[in-house]
Structure 1
Amino acid sequence: MDKKSTPSQMDKGYARMLERTHEIMSKSGERLEAAVEQARDTAHELGELTRDEAELLAQYVKRDLRDMGDHLRDENDDLRAWFHMDTELIESSIRDLLFSVADQTSLQLAEFARAANQPATWHTGEITAPGVLECTQCGHLMHFTQVGRIPPCAQCHHTEFRRRRDLGQARSK
């Protein structure tokens, strides 16, 4: 029986899955979704995560990459607005990995987003990439400078969020 990972191991597992996705794409030219699935399988095969944990983290990575692709397609913008904060505040290794995946696969990211065909939502307890999430109930902004687990809203304790992409508007709040 597999033992469950700690929250810190899950955060590291997300970062490692993103790193493996980038490595797989760089070395084999594999498409984005297949690369995430290979990274998921590797994490489980190496005993880093249980099968369920690896699947869950793969879903989180796919969700974040789909949303990034949607942003790049819709906004015709760079990723600074997607992160919705000064990129210097973001953990450099994660920032660099996300930028490299985006640079390699802008078209694939956009296709990936279209395939989902639904607005992305984030929930308390999930793990997310750096950026700003907004509470769907009260509008409170939560800033993530590194991969992390999403807590309930600090203002209203609601558990559902969306990613903020409109850098100018959020700074004025």
Structure 2
Amino acid sequence: MSQEDPKPHLSEAYARMIERARSTVESAGKRLEQAVDEARDMAHELGELTRDEADLLSEYVKRDLRDLGAYLDLSGSDLRGWFVIDKTLIEARLFELMASVADKTSLALAEFARNVRQPTVWRTGEITGPGVLACLECGKTLQLGKAGRIPPCPHCHATRFRRQHESPEA
């Protein structure tokens, strides 16, 4: 059974969507959620993604940004605690994009995150940014150094995860 990503273009489109949303927030002062929606529409209009792919990917980006906002709002820590893994293991371009969003729009991220009432669950097959995901079945972690499709747990083959954050006291 191959672990090849059947749609590798989605991983690169994830980073482009974050970059476009960041640029829209900075230049036009729009809300982060609206900026992600505009980035979704642009990806479709430019023919980079189908409508279904663009809709799905924008939900993944919103999920990750909401979780980042909640982490920054509650912990007062910097972005490295959200990624957990060493910055050198993370794709540099995506780290800089996420850091830029966090630095320039941290109030927008916190507001965006406050609308979420239930814990976020990541699932196998979804696209996410770099970081550490903890398996909800066995607790083992999965380290992602760049944006990409989430594989099944390498230990128990379960398909549901939570993002693991560094504790604020660390």
When normalised by structure 2's length, the TM-score is: 0.93
* Mapped contact 1:37–1:58 kept (Cα < 8 A): yes
Q: What is aligned with 1:36? A: 36
* Matched AA of 2:15: A
Partner amino acid, structure 1, of 2:158: H
Q: CA deviation at 1:37?
A: 0.3
How far apart in 1 are the matches of 2:26 and 2:8? 27
User: What is the CA–CA distance in structure 2 between the aligned matches of 1:117 and 1:103, rounded to whole Å?
Assistant: 24
CA distance in 1, matches of 2:107, 2:133: 24
**For residue 127 of structure 2, what is the aligned residue in structure 1?**
127
Aligned partners of 1:85 and 1:167 also within 8 Å? no
List per-residue Cα deviations over 1:74-129 (Å, max 9, x = no partner).
11111111000111221111000000001111111111111122211100000011
Give the structure 1 partner of residue 16 of structure 2: 16
How far apart are the structure 2 equivalents of 1:127 and 1:149? 4
Q: How does 1:18-167 map to 2 (within 5 A)?
A: 18-166=18-166
Structure 1: distance between partners of 2:124 and 2:89:
23
Q: Is the 8 A contact 2:21 2:36 kept in 1?
A: yes
Match of 2:3 in 1: none
Q: Would the aligned equivalents of 1:73 and 1:110 in 2 still touch at CA under 8 Å? A: yes
Shift of 1:166: 2.6
- Distance in 2 of aligned mates of 1:163 and 1:151: 14
Matched residue pairs, number?
A: 166
* Identity value in percent: 54
Secondary structure (helix, strand or coil) at the match of 1:142 reads strand
- Gaps of at least 5 residues in structure 2 are 1-5
Q: Distance in 1 between matches of 2:100 and 2:28?
A: 15
Note the aligned Cα RMSD (angstroms): 1.8
- TM normalised by structure 1 equals 0.91
Q: SS of 1:116's equivalent?
A: coil
| More helix per residue | 1
